[in-house]
Amino acid sequence: MNRSIHLAALALLSALTSLAGCSPPKASNPSADTATEDEYSEAAGEHADENGAPLSMTAAEQASAGLRVETLAPMRLGEVLQAPGEVVDNAYGVTLITPRVAALVVRRHAKLGDEVAVGAALVTLSSVEVAEAQGELRIAEQEWKRVAALGRDAVSGRRYTEAAVAVEQARAKARTYGLAPNASGPANGEFTLSAPHAGRLTEDDFVIGQRIEPGDTLFRLVDESTVWVDATLPAEIARRVVVGKDATVVAAGVSLRGRVVQSAHRTAEDTRNAHVRVEVPNEGDQLHAGDFVEVSLSTAGSDIDQLAVPTEAIVQLQGQTVVFRARTGEEFEPVPLKVGAVVADHTIVTDGVTAGDRVVVAGTYALKARMLKAQLGEGHGH
């Protein structure tokens, strides 16, 4: 039995010796150890971009991506509202051309769409009543000239007064009918209506020989040098527009400057919208009644300095609202923000950046794309 135990021990010792011989000793290679550490550091650096570490971008790359950096500073924000609008005639520059006495249309001197100067003849009418007024005025004028030439010493006071009163009444009647208060021209009942101011004829609804009653409109004369634009806004927003503020009207790619002349005073029951009226100098006759335009309106704005960033500088990254802050001229880092209201093209910032920080305000999406590229592992070989 002792012999069996001895043989088993010898067999175990032999097996252990064989196993030790199959495992070569670890070679000492410092350069290999260093390479392994460098590879680990490089991989860690590559993954740093994925974890929000600074991104590098050369000046040439920034120029190619359209990057622009600005220094943040508190500002007073004024909101700019965009609204659709419709051009309407300036009612203070509109005149209806109409006779003051029943008459027939004899001749037309202008037509629809004509642009006329002040005093231009528009239409000639004929009336029995006007003929009577013309005759009375001529007689009264002649009598007055004769009495005035004789003087008070040659005629009685009554006759002198009667002549003076008669000519004044005849002139007043002529003015009432739209006639010149003098006796020139025949007493045939014809009279011509003229343009009281320069403008364009936008209505013309009559024919030669038609009988026109007092108050019937022959022409609608519009001074188009200034027009109104009625901008449509929700009532609660329209109330923020201040009368006297500047406005911009865009029509067919052309921008015209205007001024708010009337704020909303009535809300439509069906749409709950209200109108804000803008007066616009119509340079180059660009605007006409009925045109649809786009209107930019300024609100009163805030009287408190607030820190804000351009809204286009903000992006969503990994579920967070961020901007890219410049650490150096070529190094940028994403910074999470807490934001407030959007005012015009800026967003108020309540936390995340401070005044004096330099942030990317244009080309932000190029930085976001580079960060997403790193997150997808391009170039890592894994």
Structural domain spans, the chain? 52-76+305-375, 80-91+223-298, 128-186
**Average pLDDT of the chain?**
82
Residue 10 pLDDT greater than 70, yes or no: no
With contact defined as beta carbons under 8 Å apart, do 238 and 264 qualify?
A: yes
Please report, for residues 42, 154, 182, 236, the alpha-carbon distance to residue 376 in angstroms, rounded to integers and kept in the order given. Answer: 17, 117, 95, 47
Residue 180 pLDDT greater than 90, yes or no: no
52-76+305-375, CATH topology level:
2.40.420
Please report, for residues 22, 145, 279, the alpha-carbon distance to residue 29 in angstroms, rounded to integers and kept in the order given. Answer: 21, 135, 86
Least confident of 9-23, 107-121, 321-335: 9-23
* Residue 220 DSSP SS3: strand
More confident residue, 81 or 60: 60
Burial class (CB in 10 A: 0-12, 13-18, 19+), 381: exposed
Q: pLDDT-derived band of residue 219, with 50, 70 and 90 as boundaries?
A: very high
Residue 252 pLDDT greater than 80, yes or no: yes
Percent above pLDDT 90 for the chain: 50
| pLDDT for the residue numbered 48 | 38
Give dist(CA 189, CA 72) in Å, integer. 78
| pLDDT for the residue numbered 264 | 72
More confident residue, 270 or 111: 111
What is the average per-residue pLDDT within 109-122?
96
Q: What is the pLDDT of residues 11-29, one digit of tens each?
A: 544 544 444 444 444 444 4
Q: What is the pLDDT of residues 220-245, one digit of tens each?
A: 999 999 999 999 998 888 888 888 88
Q: Give the strand order in the sheet containing 121-126.
A: 190-194, 121-126, 103-108, 211-212
Q: What is the pLDDT of residues 260-275, one digit of tens each?
A: 998 877 888 888 898 9
What is the average per-residue pLDDT within 178-191?
78
Give dist(CA 188, CA 179) in Å, integer. 13
| pLDDT for the residue numbered 208 | 96
Which residue is it, tokens 């015009």? 344
Q: pLDDT-derived band of residue 306, with 50, 70 and 90 as boundaries?
A: confident
The stretches of 151-286 forming alpha helices (DSSP H) are: 157-176, 235-238
Residue 148 pLDDT greater than 70, yes or no: yes
Overall CATH class of domain 80-91+223-298: mainly beta
Looking at the chain, the number of H-run helices and the number of E-run strands are: 7, 23
> What pTM was estimated for this model as a whole?
0.55
